[in-house]
Chains A and B, each alone.
Chain A
């Protein structure tokens, strides 16, 4: 297999000894890794900024728009303390608020088989939410799972354990695999960084379309500040719900029509479904104390739930994308915002985060096998996938998009207090 190269943009080669490269723990770890096929080149970020990392969390200048204050704290941290924390209640007030919502859900659900819908991927957030919904709140959820063709064994096990252990009903939407493959391959060919958009789109479009079609009033999601208060920049992971972008990428790089693929644009689900179809979204994990490690252990002990190596690894594709493709092709490591979130919420120390992020996000023991599996599933050769990896990167701006409109919407939401996170 030809050497796989991790590219960073200063174009310098392995063994570069500029001050930016020395002391970059990710780079050093990759350099000393025994794996025969990985090399790394080094870079400064694309705006010629010197490398800087937040002194409070671990977000750094791989987010090219990050802003630091005089303490060296980034704007994610400042936003957390100024905007998120004051509006986040997991104490008695939080309990009161969520119970009021729960009572309403129960009331509105009388006479129906289920009173709410929960999208379940098998990951810890949605799993814990299901557990809370049934055991703590006494709700009668219908569990909704989208099978995009990439489920890991742990994911299906975890869903099964929750269905059986909690005695709940499950509905699965199986995405037409040839269509998913075609759309995913189109995204690979487009060279943008947000290639998990097809899976994301299928998951939430499936969920929302189902809700609207079946007149479901309440969707419960596992969204939470506890592990997601720092969100990855759009530069890394552009809006998955920008249908204009998705259609343009597919038009340019896809080969078969998307006849059954679940699609739902940002305006449809944020405006039309909510205003005209009355679909409400509730986020219970923000109203109770949610400590990820404890939540996982509880699920393991009570239901035989299986742990994942990292967040989002219930999908084999996402594991490859976040663990390997994104960091080595673009220099974006999603563990930064994930770890930074739990640093801010007190579940991980900064030192621990730095130590963890110094190791590659992918498993060097299995990466060759994983790379082959991805190529096989996509219907291309390893060499072809390699070539896609090595081609020059593009951004969402290279394709049609609704960004100006979405930005306007985000600003409005932030101004009227419906959105507290930094989204850029």
Chain B
């Protein structure tokens, strides 16, 4: 069953709601026990990187997640700060990330091209998926989502970029490496566009 990791951050209810309305079974997990049997994982997150990593540590679910993702290769989708947590670390803070996507999370404010643009990056923006990326099936011609963030992921391996968006610079707004996916935008708040990618993730 699709399992939303409830470690204290992120709109868990919205994900559950989206899946419920699609008649796709989903549940939330607040402890390591509740992760047992997960066939897909969603890692949400909003707010600050360090705060998120601390809460994840504190939840006691990190070892189970690592087991599920690294060993059992259960597909996992990180959303917003959840995607940033997949990297090795963030300019925003001091903690190390989960490290499943080689690369770092960078500040828009530091980037020359983005200098001067209002921050956070807030609103609906166009997304250009990589050709053949199954997550965006059905949205090849028209993909746009709601963004709300001040930091972006810089992939060490360009092949990990599953989709790009532009805000001053072109940045990876979705990533995919083996069984790990990430979305910087909010699929749970992007109307039918978001519903489509969430459904695609469920059916991968």
> A residues near B, CB below 8 A?
365-366, 368-369
In the assembled complex, the CB of B27 is this many whole angstroms from the nearest CB of chain A, namely 15
Give Cα distance in the complex from A369 to B23, angstroms: 10
Task: Give 5 nearest A-B pairs by CB, closest first.
Answer: A369-B21, A365-B23, A369-B20, A366-B21, A368-B20
Give Cα distance in the complex from A366 to B21, angstroms: 7
| 5 A-B pairs with C-beta separation under 8 A | A365-B23, A366-B21, A368-B20, A369-B20, A369-B21
Give the residues in chain B near A366, CB-CB below 8 Å.
21
Residue of B nearest to A35 (CB): B23
Give Cα distance in the complex from A365 to B23, angstroms: 7
Give Cα distance in the complex from A369 to B19, angstroms: 12
Give the residues in chain B near A368, CB-CB below 8 Å.
20
Residue of A nearest to B17 (CB): A369
Give Cα distance in the complex from A168 to B20, angstroms: 41
In the assembled complex, the CB of A20 is this many whole angstroms from the nearest CB of chain B, namely 32
In the assembled complex, the CB of A343 is this many whole angstroms from the nearest CB of chain B, namely 34
In the assembled complex, the CB of B21 is this many whole angstroms from the nearest CB of chain A, namely 6
In the assembled complex, the CB of B191 is this many whole angstroms from the nearest CB of chain A, namely 13
Give the residues in chain A near B20, CB-CB below 8 Å.
368-369
Give Cα distance in the complex from A113 to B23, angstroms: 51
Q: Write the B7-20 contact mask toward A (1 if CB under 8 angstroms, else 0).
A: 00000000000001
In the assembled complex, the CB of A40 is this many whole angstroms from the nearest CB of chain B, namely 20
Residues of B15-49 at the interface with A, using a CB-CB cut-off of 8 Å, are 20-21, 23
In the assembled complex, the CB of B165 is this many whole angstroms from the nearest CB of chain A, namely 29
In the assembled complex, the CB of A1 is this many whole angstroms from the nearest CB of chain B, namely 11
Give the residues in chain B near A369, CB-CB below 8 Å.
20-21
Give the residues in chain A near B23, CB-CB below 8 Å.
365
Give the residues in chain B near A365, CB-CB below 8 Å.
23
Give Cα distance in the complex from A368 to B20, angstroms: 9
Give Cα distance in the complex from A148 to B153, angstroms: 48
In the assembled complex, the CB of B19 is this many whole angstroms from the nearest CB of chain A, namely 12
Give Cα distance in the complex from A365 to B22, angstroms: 8
In the assembled complex, the CB of B45 is this many whole angstroms from the nearest CB of chain A, namely 27
Residue of B nearest to A365 (CB): B23
Give the residues in chain A near B21, CB-CB below 8 Å.
366, 369
In the assembled complex, the CB of B192 is this many whole angstroms from the nearest CB of chain A, namely 13
In the assembled complex, the CB of B162 is this many whole angstroms from the nearest CB of chain A, namely 30
Give Cα distance in the complex from A366 to B20, angstroms: 10
Give Cα distance in the complex from A366 to B22, angstroms: 9
